[in-house]
Amino acid sequence: MSSFQVINPFTNEVDRNYPLHSFDQAQQCIKQAHQEQRQWAKLTLAQRTKLVRKGLEYFDNHRA
């Protein structure tokens, strides 16, 4: 399977490799994202805010 590389523009080194998806796999990912967005839209602003803050806290605590 082929992949594409993400290159750090500051170091010019490969940061990550990601596998390429077939058309069917991409369609499935889009379908899943659409379903998840519908669930997100049902949340109140307060619920969304709490989740976003929790995510930011996680990233703050796990910086490289």
Question: What is the total count of domains within the chain?
Answer: 1
pLDDT at 43: 98
pLDDT at 1: 59
Give the structural domain span for 45: 23-64
47 domain residue, yes or no:
yes
Q: What is the pLDDT along the chain (64 residues), one digit of tens a residue?
A: 589 999 999 999 999 999 999 999 999 999 999 999 999 999 999 999 999 999 999 999 998 6
52 domain residue, yes or no:
yes
18 domain residue, yes or no:
no
12 domain residue, yes or no:
no
Closest of 29, 27, 4, 6 to residue 16, by C-alpha: 6
> Which DSSP state fits 43?
S
7 domain residue, yes or no:
no
pLDDT at 63: 84
49 domain residue, yes or no:
yes
3 domain residue, yes or no:
no
CA atoms within 13 A on the CB side of 63: 4
Q: Which whole-number Å values give the CA distances from 9 to 5, 26, 57, in the listed order?
A: 12, 27, 26
